[in-house]
Structure 1
């Protein structure tokens, strides 16, 4: 049986819809207010589970922290309701659950997010903790089998955990969504099997690794032709992930412009167009839905191109509803998109 573990953040989202953002010192009347489960870690875990076909036998579990408060209890209940393992989601006494304050502009659906990390700030582990969280098997698992561990950047221990996984549990393929962006060394980028980034993060990665002259050349190409420019970026970033027995995939999402991607097995950069959406309601969680779609399909023996096509459809459905975890569609709903 395949296993997917997501190590990341769990937040309680407080969402306000507004026609415009207030200026400094200004008070305005906003629209509706909603509360939702959130956090990139939780969103991606729920997305992976919901976007798996019901007949697929895959264990999905989450690692993270919540506070000993009503928000934390609600988040763990949501995970259980979605058939996600919560034995490794730890409730901390005297600590608040992470909270995200989200402002959504009603006309465009674009969002701005403020994070209070709370219990998420404790998701950094000693080696003894990691041995418990990722128990060794009596019979070593084959890396060719589809086992994934997924990371983002809303917890402090991401890189140290990735290093430990690669050194001690090599059967896992490492999926990394470096959001919010933090700089890594070139050596640490090589820990990643599947890199999922948006167009802004792609340029941030380039700036942290390559020379100013090289980065300026890529930025000029992107300004001249977005798709062709980012295809070149995919190829360049792929060199950082080039290691033996790795999928070595780089995926850059370009919003309404689609997705460009390549892998070690298929180095020619490919493009998948975005789906037409009649109205964008809320883009919160769209990227997490996309990642969930990719991982769920790769785990069940689909090609990278098939997985991305499925994920594009899934994220197009998610932006037509409010919320993050709540807006993630089911596998069945995605299969009905033409």
Structure 2
């Protein structure tokens, strides 16, 4: 298996369950409260490690209890933490999450030390020729742009949704947006396979080699050189969709690092995400191989 490097955020998630989301200015009495390890980068790194990946995580945490607990947790998962730096001033990242009765969520993130993950942390990396690199957008865009220069096997999960310069797409190995992120990047509202194909073609025209659009309970759509297809998701009773996309991406990169073809890799990722949504939490929901 090729080595996997995940570059991204580490957060502590504070979750409240409630029957419905509050309206602006409204206070609701919620239900259960949970404290979970999270952050898109950390979620993806843990998901990949649990599924058998040889994972190295590049991140920045605060000099506080949340940061120390996070790094200890990564070590227990067998993740290489040698490129996790500690910020002496900024707090570790946190996220406030509300989960409604249908398992949908809203998330507000305080980036903290994640916002200080510098370009220098990328230039110090010794990336192997066959190494896959996975990143997201909860760290500075400049750091992501530096990654584009350093590897031709970069998988970009463009979350949270934001505008991106065309230089990100030109020659990018793979991009994995969901419906909301796809609409922001292309202007196409994705509702079915036809609209997903239209949006994917626009991203491909910008220079992306492989486009995977995740469609929640419907599965995922793929467009690559000379081929396209839908991968349906199994029907499950969703409890919490917080880290579904992160588990999908972590599983996807593991399958690719194992040498699986793209169709099998996406099917594996869809199965992993389908298990994750049946569990509460972010990293806690990431399955192991035995769960699949």
The residue aligned with 1:238 is 204
How far 1:325 sits from its partner (Å)?
A: 0.4
Gaps of at least 5 residues in structure 1 are 53-57, 208-217, 243-247
CA RMSD of aligned residues (A): 1.8
After superposition, residues 113-192 of structure 1 pair within 5 angstroms as 113-126=107-120, 129-132=121-124, 134-135=125-126, 141-142=128-129, 145=130, 147-156=131-140, 158=141, 160-167=142-149, 169-170=150-151, 172-192=152-172
Distance 2:229 2:245 in 1: 19
Contact 1:181 1:204 in 2 (8 A): yes
Contact 2:117 2:143 in 1 (8 A): no
Q: CA deviation digits over 1:88-111, x for unaligned, max 9?
A: 111112321100000000x20000
The residue aligned with 2:232 is 273
The residue aligned with 1:261 is 222
Larger radius of gyration: 1
Distance 1:135 1:70 in 2: 30
Contact 2:119 2:146 in 1 (8 A): no
Distance 2:28 2:162 in 1: 34
Contact 2:102 2:239 in 1 (8 A): yes
**TM-score relative to the length of structure 2:** 0.94
Contact 2:240 2:278 in 1 (8 A): yes
Which of these residues, 251, 270, 276, is aligned with residue 318 of structure 1?
Answer: 276
Distance 1:7 1:305 in 2: 25
After superposition, residues 193-212 of structure 1 pair within 5 angstroms as 193-207=173-187
Residue 58 of structure 2: SS of its match in structure 1?
strand
**TM-score relative to the length of structure 1:** 0.82
Quick one: structure 1 residues 23 and 234, their matched pair in 2 at CA, closer, same or farther if it must change by over 3 Å? closer
Q: Kindly tell me the number of residue pairs found equivalent between the two proteins.
A: 292
Distance 2:258 2:62 in 1: 34
